[in-house]
Amino acid sequence: MNVEKIIQEIYLQIIEIEDEGQVASYIPELANVDATKFGVHISTIDHLHFGIGHCYDKFSIQSIAKVLSLSLAYKILGEKIWERLGVEPSGTGFNSLVQLEADNGIPRNPFINAGAIVISDILLSNLENPKEDFLAFVRNLSDNSEINYSDKIATSEKIVGYRNAALCHFIKSFGNIQNEPADVLNFYFDLCSLEMNCQELSELFLYLANHGSNVVDNHSILTKSQSKRMNALMQTCGFYDESGEFAFKVGLPGKSGVGGGIIAIHPNQYAIAVWSPKLNKKGNSYKGMRFLEEFTTKTQLSIF
């Protein structure tokens, strides 16, 4: 099978469709992104690397960073982490407060905003220099010292982050936030502001296609069991209340971000990153979702 040829064909097909999405205008800096950009990059366990379109343009990875922060917290705490977080799909929007009342401040999963805020609190409690240490972890994963936060995007999110502030204070009222909410929120906004391109994302996320180990030197980042559970969470919770649709149409573990990026993983085979800034009504990249559905249909390279 010629995967590169299939990617090219689907890319040319998807780039021509009418994009029904909208950019994430509620974060001012994201509203300024060129909405016509569209990039794809695949990296495989057996060292195929192929990209097309704007795959080398950096963008704000937003909630894709939640997988990375969870990986680091899981590495530090092990199974104790699940005392403060659930592992069930939410069935509600990514910034919903509804379930926290019924669940006594335990977020339904680590990928909704409430869950990622708890993860940020865990990292604040366990890292000596959280912002610097988390960035070092990501750079080490990718073997790329140029990956960085965007101060402009982090500041932009802080200015309008009222709902996230409400989530953090509400969870604090149940005793599931240990640090000062302002410190937790600042760190959360910083980690969401990480900027990468499709190539960097697909190469970085190969550790979840390789049983938790770096593909270059086989250095263990997570245990096999932890890697399995991370992929399971991405499969069931990675796209908020569109996770079932993604599993149904694409059939891969994955994670989206409101910057328009999507990372999807086929354990033992590949990681593929797609970026197109316009989002559908559920907050996931419209063209990115369409591309990945076509890709796994034509290649038959899904986990099902």
- 44-64 mean pLDDT: 96
Q: What is the pTM of this model?
A: 0.96
Q: How confident is the model at residue 100 (pLDDT cuts 50, 70, 90)?
A: very high
Q: How confident is the model at residue 143 (pLDDT cuts 50, 70, 90)?
A: confident
Supply the pLDDT for residue 235.
Answer: 97
Reported as a single tens digit per residue, the pLDDT across 187-216 is 999 999 999 999 999 999 999 999 999 888
Supply the pLDDT for residue 1.
Answer: 84
- 23-27 mean pLDDT: 82
Q: How confident is the model at residue 25 (pLDDT cuts 50, 70, 90)?
A: confident
pLDDT, mean over the chain? 95
Supply the pLDDT for residue 302.
Answer: 93
Reported as a single tens digit per residue, the pLDDT across 271-303 is 999 999 999 999 999 999 999 999 999 999 999
- 120-149 mean pLDDT: 96
Q: Is 285 left (phi over 0), alpha (psi -120 to 50) or beta?
A: beta
The number of CA neighbours under 13 Å toward the Cβ of 228 is: 3
Distance CA 110, CA 148 (A): 23
- 239-253 mean pLDDT: 94
**Which among 85, 145, 132 is positioned nearest to 113, based on CA atoms?**
85
Supply the pLDDT for residue 178.
Answer: 98
Whether 29 has a pLDDT exceeding 90, the answer reads no
Backbone angles phi, psi at 234, to 5 degrees: -65, -35
Supply the pLDDT for residue 95.
Answer: 75
Distance CA 193, CA 51 (A): 23
Supply the pLDDT for residue 13.
Answer: 96
Helix (H, G, I), strand (E, B) or coil at 29: helix
Q: How confident is the model at residue 226 (pLDDT cuts 50, 70, 90)?
A: very high
Contact 277, 260 (CB under 8 A): yes
Contact 244, 230 (CB under 8 A): no
Supply the pLDDT for residue 165.
Answer: 96
Show the domains of the chain with their CATH numbers. Answer: 3-298 (3.40.710.10)
Whether 12 has a pLDDT exceeding 90, the answer reads yes
123 or 29, greater pLDDT: 123
Q: How confident is the model at residue 98 (pLDDT cuts 50, 70, 90)?
A: confident
Distance CA 1, CA 207 (A): 24
Contact 253, 208 (CB under 8 A): yes
User: Facing residues of 22 across strands?
Assistant: 279
- 40-44 mean pLDDT: 98
* Element (DSSP H or E) covering residue 247: helix 243-249
Supply the pLDDT for residue 91.
Answer: 75
DSSP state of 19: -
Q: How confident is the model at residue 218 (pLDDT cuts 50, 70, 90)?
A: confident
